[in-house]
Structure formats: structure tokens, C-alpha cells
Amino acid sequence: MRKYFVEFLEVSSPKREVSVQRLEGDCFHLEVSGQRYTVEFSESSGAYLLRWGERVIRCVPQRIGQNTWHVRLGEEVFRAVVQSEVSLLTSSSEGGEGNLEQAPMPGNILEVRVQRGQEVEKGEILFILEAMKMETELKAKRSGKVQEVCVEPHQSVSKDQVLMRYE
């Protein structure tokens, strides 16, 4: 599940946490500020059709900056700043080591050798990642206590996907 933080600039609203989990095909679970939706996206001439239940809304996103978008939802247009959980956490971490362990490349997690609450030492093997038919040991970049393990064995991961968080 990927998390994003969305702040709508025209309306004075707090940042909203948006979690996205791909189900099958074009179906996704969205959780927006605690409310869950199952939606289906389908591309239609430069736009997306967003379906949930009986409702269908045309969505036209247009990037206007690195993290800034104009988003037309039906008849309304919003300007939004979108940050991924990774960029938010890494930009706010001090000292360069960060509080995250991330996938260095896309692949498949073969083994998870760490669990929540465990103390790990720098250099300790945390995960075994299979990529391009090779197994790679992913080692701890620092010592610390594991707050959350975000992946499980046999899960596909993308480059920079968060695998684990430190306290």
C-alpha cells in the first residue's frame, strides 16, 4: 500500500492522507482520511474515469510542477500538492541516515528477516530481494529499533518503495 499526502491549495484544508492499494487490473482501494473506497480507473482520451458504486466521475490530472497538480474532478478544478510518504519522511529526516529502508531496485521480496520491535545493527541483513534473476541481501543502513515492516515474502516492490521504518 502506498501513502500520499494531499493538500488542496484553494481551500483551507489540512493535508489529507491518501492510501492507495492496487487490487486487480484497474481496481484500487483508496483510503482518504480514514474513509475507504473501492474504485476503478479506466483511461479515456487523456482523462480517467473514476467509478465507485453507481457513480462515475471524469478525472483529468495535469502536472504543473514537480509535486503540484491541477485536478479536474467532474466540474470542479483543484490545485493540489502531492507528496509521497517516502519523500515526506526522507525530506524531514535529519542526518542523512533517515528512518526508512527502501528498495534499491524493483524486484520480489524472497525473505523478510526482521520483525516489528526488533533491534537491528548497521549491516545486518534485513531482506533478500530477487531482481533480474539475482538475489541481493538488503542490509540495515543504520542501527535502531524496527517500528514497522511494510512488506512480506513474495511481494513485488518498486524502486524506492518503503520496506521498513525505524522508530
Q: What is the pLDDT of residue 93?
A: 42
pLDDT in tens, 40-55: 777 767 777 777 778 8
Q: What is the pLDDT of residue 90?
A: 47
Q: What is the pLDDT of residue 164?
A: 93
Can you list the residues of the chain whose pLDDT is less than 50? Answer: 88-97
Topology, domain 93-166: OB fold (Dihydrolipoamide Acetyltransferase, E2P) (2.40.50)
**Residue showing cell 527502501:** 102
The three-state secondary structure class of 117 is coil
- Range 2-86 classified under CATH 3.30.700.30: yes
Residues 43/36, Cβ–Cβ less than 8 Å: no
CB atoms within 10 A of CB 166: 19
Size of the chain in residues: 167
* Domain 2-86 matches domain 93-166 at the CATH topology level: no
Q: What's CA 149's distance to the chain center, in Å?
A: 14
Give the alpha-carbon dihedral of 86, 87, 92, 93, to 10 degrees.
Answer: 50
Q: How far apart are CA 86 and CA 160, in angstroms?
A: 8
The three-state secondary structure class of 91 is helix
| Domain boundary assignment for the chain | 2-86, 93-166
Cα–Cα nearest to 54, from 40, 44, 68, 65: 40
Residues 78/8, Cβ–Cβ less than 8 Å: yes
